[in-house]
């Protein structure tokens, strides 16, 4: 992936492939020639080391890139995965691990992609008990909590919408809500919506497990860290040619497809590859903080994933830039706009609390902010009073940091660990998944915002259908997801 702190790569140039036309190999008749796995690369001579070749090259080792790699390998295509920073360096490593449907809108393309992905997650763990344990699979269910009578009415409407598509949702009045989560005290007039089928996993553990599965396949290779940083792209002049990806020490050939799945950096890569500046503006960061901390003594356990209703606005597709912060909670930040602070809470498999969440538009800095940490805890304490002392300590630490010009938060809460990630937000609120018009063999999978884990399996499956179609396979129906095509997303952003 490309760093925002260095100039973008050299403008891509298109080159002609060999005049001799080659027929594409069958996807099922034989196994294609694999790349040399990374663990053997060091043994190669210098002359051999300059060039690597794979059927498909993927840029970006987040959860979406990993699922795409797994699906390609399943279809007997060799894969080389490139990652500039290392595994879980982006949004995948900073997330809360929700596999939720409760906050999504039935009948939308986003709902369809998430529903398919959750079904694929279930299939994967049903086939592998060890993987289920490794990724810390928790059938904890979800609770949407309203912030007053007005939002409580919207919960009833959401209950009807979810039940109408077969997803069981139960409305909880304040008494029933208190029975289910004794530590939760919603504002006056608040209520809850329980979706017991919603799930939680450990995103970091999942990414490591998927990478190990890929590495066990002889058709897979990966370059992590500086050797996996893309410094230039050379797109083939037309169908049948291979794309070339340049790193610091190698030229890498993608025989059939190049997949850009580098999170928020995908826009810069697309812009450099195609010479179209608009791509770099389509994907923007939404910086997020997630707090991991021990449960305070005397505070009742959090047994479900909890999210306040206003969080759902982040999953409502629109043709405009990100929505303004909610009136319920904003906080000062380094961005031009105030940060959006929305309460979420859950318990990890090790018993720690995971508290969120924040969103700051167009902020690239990944250093934790004491002011944002304090704002998250202050908001959480309005729903979980057991966090009040932690919130007050964080507020004092933020005030001290502001007075001294520092950014220390280590003394705010005992045992506090802060994860900061850049959610890749695509204008319009939907991810980009599919081929790039005018660049045969170039594909994109990015812009999932905070839904990479919940949409990763379906995205990988869908993208491989597009790649198989590009390679000549028939019967790969993708029409239901036309709204996610990169050029469709680009056009929507320009309206």
Q: Which of 318, 405, 402, 333 is nearest to 363 (CA)?
A: 333
| Strongest mean pLDDT among 82-86, 466-470, 476-480 | 466-470
Each residue's pLDDT tens digit, 410-428:
777 889 999 999 999 998 8
Q: What is the pLDDT of residue 371?
A: 94
Element (H, E) at 170: strand 170-172
Q: What is the pLDDT of residue 375?
A: 96
Burial degree of 338 (CB within 10 A; 0-12, 13-18, 19+): middle
Spacing of C-alpha 139 from chain mean position: 21
10: DSSP letter: B
Q: Which residue has the higher pLDDT, 202 or 249?
A: 202
Where does residue 325 fall: left (phi above 0), alpha (psi -120 to 50 degrees), or beta otherwise? beta
Q: Which of 174, 193, 194 is nearest to 184 (CA)?
A: 174
Q: What is the pLDDT of residue 315?
A: 64
- Quote the strand ranges of 320-467, DSSP E: 330-331, 339-347, 353-361, 417-426, 432-435, 442-446
Domain at 137-199+285-423, CATH homologous superfamily:
D-Amino Acid Oxidase, subunit A, domain 2 (3.30.9.10)
Mean pLDDT confidence for 182-190? 91
pLDDT at 1 over 50: no
Inter-residue contact 315 to 110 (CB < 8 Å): yes
What is the pTM for the complete model shown?
0.86
pLDDT at 140 over 90: yes
Each residue's pLDDT tens digit, 355-412:
999 999 999 999 999 999 999 999 999 999 999 999 999 999 999 988 887 777 777 7
Q: What is the pLDDT of residue 106?
A: 95
Q: Which letter, b or e, does each residue of 33-54 get, where b requires 16 or more Cβ atoms within 10 Å of its Cβ? A: ebbbbbeebeeeeeeeeeebbb
Element (H, E) at 392: helix 388-404
For residue 52, the cross-strand partners are 252
pLDDT at 52 over 50: yes
Each residue's pLDDT tens digit, 79-107:
999 999 888 888 888 888 999 999 999 99
Its sign, for the CA torsion 358, 360, 363, 368, is: negative
């Amino acid at each position: 992936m490309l760093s925002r702190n260095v100039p973008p790569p050299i403008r891509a140039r298109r080159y002609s492939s060999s005049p001799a036309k080659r027929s594409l190999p069958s996807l099922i008749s034989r196994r294609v020639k694999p790349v040399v796995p990374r663990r053997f690369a060091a043994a190669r001579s210098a002359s051999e080391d300059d060039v690597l070749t794979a059927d498909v090259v993927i840029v970006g080792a987040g959860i979406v890139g990993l699922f795409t790699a797994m699906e390609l390998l399943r279809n007997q295509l060799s894969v080389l995965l490139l990652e500039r920073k290392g595994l879980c360096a982006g949004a995948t490593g900073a997330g809360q691990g929700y596999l939720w449907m409760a906050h999504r809108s039935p009948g939308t393309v986003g709902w369809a992609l998430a529903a398919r992905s959750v079904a694929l997650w279930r299939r994967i763990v049903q086939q592998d008990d060890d993987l289920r344990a490794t990724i810390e699979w928790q059938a904890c269910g979800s609770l949407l909590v309203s912030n007053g009578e007005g939002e409580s009415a919207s919960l009833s409407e959401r209950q009807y919408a979810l039940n109408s598509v077969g997803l069981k949702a139960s409305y909880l009045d304040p008494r029933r809500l208190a029975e289910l989560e004794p530590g939760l005290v919603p504002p006056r007039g608040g209520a809850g919506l329980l979706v017991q089928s919603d799930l939680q996993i450990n995103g970091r553990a999942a990414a490591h497990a998927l990478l190990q599965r890929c590495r066990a396949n002889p058709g897979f290779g990966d370059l992590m860290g500086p050797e996996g940083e893309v410094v230039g792209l050379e797109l083939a002049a037309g169908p049948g040619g291979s794309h070339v990806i340049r790193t610091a020490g190698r030229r890498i050939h993608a025989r059939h497809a190049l997949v850009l799945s580098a999170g928020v950096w995908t826009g810069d890569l697309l812009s450099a590859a195609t010479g179209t500046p608009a791509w770099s503006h389509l994907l923007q960061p939404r910086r997020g903080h997630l707090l991991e901390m021990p449960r305070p003594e005397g505070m009742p356990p959090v047994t479900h994933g909890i999210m306040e209703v206003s969080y759902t606005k982040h999953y409502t597709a629109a043709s405009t830039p990100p929505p303004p912060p909610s009136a319920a909670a904003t906080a000062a930040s380094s961005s031009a706009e105030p940060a959006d602070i929305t309460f979420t809470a859950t318990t990890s498999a090790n018993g720690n609390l995971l508290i969120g969440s924040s969103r700051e538009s167009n902020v690239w800095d990944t250093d934790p902010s004491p002011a944002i940490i304090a704002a998250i805890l202050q908001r959480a304490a309005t729903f979980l009073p057991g966090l009040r002392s932690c919130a007050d300590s964080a507020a004092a630490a933020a005030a001290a940091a502001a007075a001294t010009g520092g950014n220390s938060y280590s003394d705010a809460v005992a045992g506090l660990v802060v994860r900061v990630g850049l959610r890749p937000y695509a204008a319009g609120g939907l991810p980009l998944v599919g081929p790039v018009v005018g660049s045969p063999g170039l594909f994109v999978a990015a812009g999932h915002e905070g839904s990479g884990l919940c949409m990763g399996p379906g995205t990988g499956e869908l993208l491989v259908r597009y790649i198989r179609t590009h390679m000549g396979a028939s019967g790969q129906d993708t029409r239901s997801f036309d709204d996610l095509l990169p050029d469709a997303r680009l056009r929507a952003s320009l309206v």
